[in-house]
Chain A
Amino acid sequence: MKKRLLATLLAAAMGLSLLTGCGGGSSSGGGSGEAGTVDTSKEVELVMYVISDRPAGQDIVDENLNKLLKEKLNCTLKINWIGWAEYAQKYPLLFSSGEAFDMAYCAGWLGFSNLARRGAFMELDTMLQQYAPDNYALQSETALAQATVDGHLYAVPTLLPTYTTYGAIYRGDIAAEAGITDTIDTFEEVEQYCDYIVANHPEMEAINEYSSGPETSLVWTRSNGLYDIDANLRFLFYDPSAEHPTVTPLYDLEGATDFYKRMKEWCDKGYWSKSALADTDSQKTQNGKAGLTFHNIDTWSGYTVQQPDWDFKYGTMTKDVAHLPFTQDCMVISNTSKNPERALALWNLITTDQEVYDAFYYGIEGTTYELNDQGQFTILDMDLYSTNAMWAARTMELNRNQAGVPEEYDTIREGWEQTIKDGVGTEKFTGFVLDTTNITTEVAACTNAKQQYGWPLELGYTDDVEASIEEYRQAMKAAGIDKVVEECQKQLDAYIESLGQ
């Protein structure tokens, strides 16, 4: 008797958990067959997820936007925000919870290819062209290839190119004080600038280093024309200009020992704190507590708006600039979406109609932003609303510069556009997407070893550089770096071969 009851209970339990566990189910494709435009006779509410902290003014911005969308597409849009503090946990859960929603922001750093391969998104092979024809027309072949995983298109890539450059963001006023007139874009010039800060500005650190890890190795490799195999595997590099590039761990690159020794020198000179990895303040440069940050051009333009008096300057330290993958910012349709057609039609509208774009991205003119005569925008109340966090919606045509961004921002980027040639150097590899399915175990272990041994070494926290490099190398070997290198090399070779065809 007892046993039977137990069995019944267990069966009930299993049944219930099956029900709760499989809530997501599978709803694939759908909506094909109807040619041309979308049927807008029925009003629908679309749900979009973006990553950032929800602004206070979201409700009034929504109201304004929805008035417009109701009229143009007979739909409304609800934007849900996942805050910075919780996105790492919550974002992957979006797709596993089975919640029905339509659109989400995605990016390489959110694990786009990983999620796509695991079936989180709806495939858009024919739908994009069908329901978002204007957007489709603007997409480059490279961009679409990057958004294709295992033969299916899983995302709508951004129409605003971003670049692989890393460089020095530094204070123009201090450089002038130090008598440096040339743009600071070499390690020697950085040294000159930092020496001046250490000697004359004891109140600040020369270089902004903090707990999320150093950027110096990236600057060093980029300035030597090397490129990382994947944004999540920044311990493996290759030379895109070589005919047969070899994937090499950072510490085995030519000149790596000298680089690490130089970093130790910088550390000993006091360019950064000896406890940098415990320091969680990432905004030291904007706040006048550090003199230089290694990062990209968009970070720089942000600084210039925040602190116009300090004359922030940008020195490109990348030998061979290329576009970042267009999936760096992209929009994905969830596989739980009930209205993928309408969602794509909405996306088409946002990315090609200035009026809708402004209402979506900047909010309400006169309330959240205003425009000057050059069409640049100013945020009126940072606490109310700044801009939307759906960065993938930006396009070359519709996007506006923030008022106060120096002209160089455009001239530097135009310069890059001129030097970038399709299929040459680093640009040749922007379509390469690494598939880590076979090496997840090793990648996880190597990521950890890099943090444990690579970061301290890169910040010069060691007494004996060569011994520490050897220790790092052994730890990486134990973590399975050889298998990772082998797999990366195999995929890179296959990519090069596929280009040749």
Chain B
Amino acid sequence: MKKEGFFDEFKKNKALFAMAAPAFILVLVMSYFPMSGLILAFKEYRYNLGVFGSPFNGLQNFGYLFSSGTGWLITRNTILYNLLNLITSQLFAVIIAIFITEIHAKYFKKVTQTVILLPYFISWVVVGVFVFSIFNYETGLINSVIQTFGGEKVNFYMMPMAWPVIICAFNAWKWTGYNSVIYIAAVTGVDGEINEAAAIDGATIFQRIRYITLPSIRPTLVTMILLQVGRILRGDFEMFYQIVGNNGQLFNATDVIDTYVFRSLITNPDIGMTAAATFYQSVLCFAIIIDRQHDREEDRRRLRAVLKKEGKKLWQRMTKI
């Protein structure tokens, strides 16, 4: 039999190819062409010579990330924060989605859902102002309350270890509503008859959630997590920058790659060095995604192990203070 080549395939399925073409071109132009710009990470950029004419300078652009030992610290912070945020925001989203679908009062349900979704529309700039007015030393909400009851004021801006909790809480507050929308769709999609049958057989509501709802939304959960894992080395710049600001004392606990790069280069912008940071993040993300898709079952086991280990470490760090 004649081996079928691409052109035979093309001839046979012209219509399908035509339909796929716009998407293909879009991805090519928007995602693949710009990648050629990554070459800047290895160049000393000159405005009059352009992207491809500038001279190469080896790995020099990567130097500032690692020269002072901060490179590992910020990489670790970025990964830990993203893991923590991933777990909390997805976990809350699932819980909220299940709660909301279990609520039967129509108006209450709608109102709750709206209220939970609202934070998604609030910009981090505004959240930054919230945080400042809640935690600042002189007039902050918490300190005012403490003072009214005769307690000793707490200077949050000098307590680095309080901030992982604060940042994580605000991240969950902002994203839970948005993520829960997807889970609500998944939970509503579960066949009602199964639930009814289980109820008749005497399953309690928790049993129904544990044995019916959760397994049913598992594919959605896995997809959502996989999507997030691909971004694990990208710090949510706006969130960190607006919440932490320029408070040097907090940096060891709150600095992520994106904020470090921003601060180092804001006074002396250098296109090559910025490209180097992006390149570093992209390569690591790419490696993680490829690794992830290699073997999913194996992978899930490993993820569980890592989460367990990191969670334990984090717990130890928190309890030590």
* Chain A residues proximal to chain B, CB less than 8 Å: 1-2, 5, 13-14, 16-18, 20-26, 28, 88, 92, 95-96, 98, 111, 114-115, 118-120, 211-213, 232, 273-275, 277-280, 335, 436, 440-445, 447-449, 451-456, 461, 475, 478-480
Q: Which of B137, B246, B248, B264 has the most CB of A within 10 A?
A: B248
CA distance A480 to B69 in the complex (A): 11
Q: Are B52 and A21 in contact (CB under 8 A)?
A: yes
Q: Is the CB of A277 within 8 A of B245?
A: yes
On whether the beta carbons of B67 and A14 are closer than 8 Å, the reply is: no
A277 touching B64 by the CB < 8 A rule?
Answer: no
Can you list 18 pairs linking A and B with CB atoms under 8 Å apart?
A2-B5, A13-B36, A22-B51, A24-B48, A24-B50, A25-B50, A26-B49, A98-B50, A111-B269, A118-B46, A274-B137, A278-B244, A444-B265, A444-B268, A445-B264, A448-B263, A461-B158, A478-B68
Measured CB to CB, the nearest residue on chain A to B270 is: A440
> Min CB distance, B16 to chain A, in Å?
17
A22 touches B137 (CB 8 A): no
A349–B156 alpha-carbon span in the complex (Å): 57
Does B26 sit at the interface, judged by CB under 8 A? no
In angstroms, Cα B155 to Cα A456, docked, is 13
Choice from B68, B138, B269 contacting A273 with Cβ under 8 Å: B138
Question: In the complex, are the beta carbons of B64 and A275 less than 8 A apart?
Answer: no
> Which residues in B have some Cβ–Cβ distance to A below 8 Å?
5-7, 28, 32-33, 36-37, 45-53, 60, 63-64, 67-70, 128-129, 131-132, 135-138, 140, 155-158, 244-249, 251-252, 260, 263-271, 273
Inside 8 A of B69's CB, which chain A residues have their CB?
Answer: 478
B47 contacts A120, C-beta separation under 8 Å? yes
Contact with A21, one of B5, B51, B67 (Cβ below 8 angstroms): B51
Contact of B60 among A26, A441, A445 (CB under 8 A): A441
* Min CB gap A155→B, angstroms: 14
Residue of B nearest to A1 (CB): B5
CA A114 to CA B47, docked complex, whole Å: 11
**Cβ A232 vs Cβ B267 within 8 A:** yes
Q: Is the CB of B48 within 8 A of A26?
A: yes
B175 vs chain A, min Cβ distance (A): 23
| Complex alpha-carbon distance, A448 and B252, angstroms | 12
Chain B contacts for A14, CB-based, 8 A: 36
Of all chain A residues, which has the CB nearest B129?
A280
Instruction: Tell me whether A440 and B136 are in contact in the complex, defined as CB-CB below 8 angstroms, given that A18-B52, A88-B266, A118-B46 are known contacts.
Output: no
Distance from B267 Cβ to chain A, minimum over Cβ atoms (Å)? 5
Check B245–A120 contact: CB distance below 8 A. Answer: no
Q: A111-B269, A444-B268 are in contact. Are A275 and B67 (CB under 8 A)?
A: no
Are the C-beta atoms of A232 and B268 separated by less than 8 Å?
Answer: yes
B270 surroundings in chain A (CB, below 8 A): 114, 440, 444
Closest to B8 in A: A1
Cβ contacts under 8 Å, A95 to chain B: 47
Check B68 against A335 for contact (C-beta < 8 Å). no
Q: Decide: A447 and B263 in contact? CB cutoff 8 A.
A: yes
In the complex, what distance in Å separates the CA atom of A115 from the CA atom of B269?
9
17 additional A-B pairs beyond A17-B36, A118-B45, A274-B157, beta carbons within 8 Å, are A2-B6, A13-B36, A17-B33, A22-B52, A22-B53, A28-B48, A120-B47, A273-B137, A278-B157, A280-B129, A440-B268, A445-B64, A445-B264, A451-B246, A456-B248, A478-B67, A480-B68
